[in-house]
Amino acid sequence: MDRQPDDTQAFHIDEDQKQPVGPGFDAPATASFDPTRLDFGHYAGSSIEELASVDPEYLRWLERHPSGARYRSEIHRVLGAVPYSTDWRR
């Protein structure tokens, strides 16, 4: 069988245990993630504030969905705390 370029292959690991792993010393100190602006889906590029006036139901859904976990604090700030279905105090 012919090997394709994307086939899994073994690679050499140097014996030097002190070899750095990760982005390196010149990596930017700040992250590129902006919790106030969506970076995926239909509303990619839109801010949470904009969406609060355009489609607040989407934000309520996003708050409950796993993909919205990193935006929850901003959604809470903009919409206020939204009770979960498991919140027995509602």
Task: Enter the tokens of residue 40.
Answer: 């995926």
Tokens 């934000």: give the residue.
59
Average pLDDT, the chain: 79
Task: Enter the tokens of residue 55.
Answer: 């489609």
d(CA 77, CA 90): 19
- Confirm if 42 and 80 have CB atoms less than 8 A apart: no
Confidence grade of residue 20 (pLDDT, cut at 50, 70, 90): low
pLDDT value at residue 3: 63
pLDDT value at residue 85: 54
pTM over 0.85? The answer is: no
**For 77, what's the count of Cα atoms within 13 Å in the CB-facing half-sphere?**
9
Confidence grade of residue 49 (pLDDT, cut at 50, 70, 90): very high
d(CA 59, CA 79): 8
